[in-house]
Amino acid sequence: MTMKTGKEYIDSLRKLDLNVYMFGEKVKNPVDHPIIKPSLNAVALTYDLALDPLYEDLMTTKSHLTGDKINRFNHIFQSKEDLVTKVKRQRMLGQKTGSCFQRCVGQDAFNAVYSTAYEVDKKHGTNYLDNFVKFLDYVQEEDLIVDGAMTDTKGDRSLSPSQQIDPDLYMHVVEQTKDGVYVTGCKAHQTGVVNSHEILCMPTMAMKPEDKDYAICFSVPTDTKGITIIYGRQSSDTRKMEENDIDVGNSQFGGHEAIVVFDRVFVPNDRIFLNGETEFSGMLVERFGGHHRASYACKVGVGDVLIGASALSADYTGTAKASHIKDKLIEMTQLNETIYSSALACAYEGSPTPSGAYLIDLMLANVCKQNVTRFPYEMGRLAQDIAGGIMVSQPSAKDLNSKEIGHYVDKYLRGVNSVCTENRMRILRLIENLTLGTGAVGYLTESMHGAGSPQAQRIMISRLGNFDHKKQLAKNIAKIDDEKNEQCTAESTESKDKKKEKNKTADDKKKKMN
């Protein structure tokens, strides 16, 4: 097996016949489309860095299936070290791209499906793990990108999948055959799907027996007949189509999302990894969610870029030595490192599942993601504070380069004399990109809703909080004797009974007197 270069990866996508729509029109050539291209560059970088000796330890490992050297994104975690390396890799790639690089969701799906399939087979005698191992071996051999697809559009959230007026609002099996199944539905928020070779679909929530048709997990190529990809809009996305790259903010890298429609898509039996075993859908969702919430260490790397951009903007305006600027940069750093520390903690506290694959500590993973739903927003606020209002009111790159008015822009947007106006504009546009523009999709909104919205983590934290154990710890310290509570309760009950009897006797006497 030979790992691909970034160019070879891009060339492999050209062979796919993807059915992609953007702005209501079919995209003839997704690989070279200017709006899609930056997200493709971010994925291609993960290939090139895997071949760079400087990043070999973070980006590659040996397959536990074959012993061959593979990209770590296609690896099943075999140790705590694997989990920790993932966190460090996520931060590094966030630093390199300043954006979403779209591959962690695939690895998180691999690990959730692998460990769950093992336990389904154990109980039901199915062969889902064999199916998945063959699929994973193919992915590793061909060095492929796999989009992990969990989120359904869900329709009326007060109704279960099988209660929906339109059954297609959750992915479901519409026909079972001896050779496989046909599925219909839609997966939303699909990060990097246009840049992927395969789509690995999972149920979106814990299912009840009546939702059996919705408990389906499988993988198919992204260009399978019946699949339509509708590309999502991002703030300021058409700036990528302009000739000058200044106003883009981050012209080289980016991310993307899309909704993916499945209209009677056929899935062969050997690509099915769960089919109707509803009692395991919750396990699959929980394990995927846990792994993916730990993946948000990538936001720490992007946060490093935002901190750097904010510090530069202060340098360029001569405010870097002001105490309040220093304090804001310190605050941003503290918030960023808090996210990183919780991501590392859930990796270091990981443990093996029955399959042998390692799972992060679920409590700490949910704490990590809860931090991610908050801290990048505060960092973005501080970055905008440091940058100043000119970040959103400055003229365009075309104005700067205009023969008629460019000299005015250059003259009046200059900060410190040693920094050219263009460079000041570029760093302000980068901050705008990360906090308001296309980059804010991955850095802010994805931080809020990716891998489950904030309430999903709070539910898990409540479930895993082990409050009874913590109550007992407090009782031990305070020397509380539960038997005394029982005695007090009994005495109180006896006292109340006597009081009732006394009152009853008094009432009876009054009645006789009347």
pLDDT per position as a tens digit, 112-132 = 999 999 999 999 999 999 999
Per-residue pLDDT at 506 exceeds 80: no
Give the pLDDT band of residue 488 (cuts 50, 70, 90).
confident
The alpha carbon dihedral of 458, 459, 460, 462 has a sign of: positive
The CATH classification number of 6-385+421-464 equals 1.20.140.10
292 belongs to the catalytic site: yes
**Residue in 110, 136, 128 with CA at minimum distance from that of residue 359:** 110
* pLDDT digit string, tens, across residues 34-71: 999 999 999 999 999 999 999 999 999 999 999 999 99
Per-residue pLDDT at 260 exceeds 80: yes
100 belongs to the catalytic site: yes
Residues in the chain, overall count: 514
The alpha carbon dihedral of 99, 103, 108, 109 has a sign of: positive
Per-residue pLDDT at 502 exceeds 70: no
pLDDT score for 402: 97
CA 512 distance to own-chain centroid: 77
Taking phi first (over 0 means left), then psi (-120 to 50 degrees means alpha), and beta for anything else, what does residue 194 get? alpha
- Is the separation of the CB atoms in 327 and 86 below 8 Å? no
pLDDT score for 513: 67
Q: 180: Cβ–Cβ under 8 A, 6 or more apart, which residues? A: 266, 267, 268, 269, 271, 272
pLDDT score for 497: 65
Give the pLDDT band of residue 492 (cuts 50, 70, 90).
confident
The alpha carbon dihedral of 332, 338, 343, 348 has a sign of: positive
**Angle made by CA atoms 104, 290, 44, in degrees to the nearest 5:** 0
Map out the domains of the chain as residue ranges. 6-385+421-464
3-state DSSP assignment of residue 468: helix
% of residues, the chain, pLDDT over 70: 96
**Token code pair at residue 368:** 């990590």
* pLDDT digit string, tens, across residues 143-202: 999 999 999 999 999 999 999 999 999 999 999 999 999 999 999 999 999 999 999 999
Q: 197: Cβ–Cβ under 8 A, 6 or more apart, which residues? A: 12, 13, 16, 142, 144, 145, 146, 221, 222
Per-residue pLDDT at 331 exceeds 90: yes
**Token code pair at residue 223:** 């260009």
191 belongs to the catalytic site: yes
141 belongs to the catalytic site: no
Longest dimension (CA), the chain: 111
The alpha carbon dihedral of 430, 29, 266, 103 has a sign of: negative
* pLDDT digit string, tens, across residues 272-317: 999 999 999 999 999 999 999 999 999 999 999 999 999 999 999 9
191 is known to lie in a ligand binding site:
yes
Per-residue pLDDT at 498 exceeds 70: no
Per-residue pLDDT at 230 exceeds 70: yes
Per-residue pLDDT at 377 exceeds 70: yes
Residue of 201, 292, 346, 443 with catalytic role: 292
pLDDT score for 48: 98
pLDDT score for 509: 66
Per-residue pLDDT at 463 exceeds 70: yes
**Residue in 306, 304, 328 with CA at minimum distance from that of residue 427:** 306
Q: For the residues 14-23, what does the mean pLDDT come to?
A: 97
- Is the separation of the CB atoms in 51 and 5 below 8 Å? yes
The kind and range of the H/E element at 182 are strand 180-187
346 belongs to the catalytic site: no
Per-residue pLDDT at 500 exceeds 90: no
104 belongs to the catalytic site: yes
Give the pLDDT band of residue 431 (cuts 50, 70, 90).
very high
User: Higher model confidence: residue 514 or residue 451?
Assistant: 451
Strands 272-275, 198-201: pairing kind: unpaired
Give the pLDDT band of residue 504 (cuts 50, 70, 90).
low
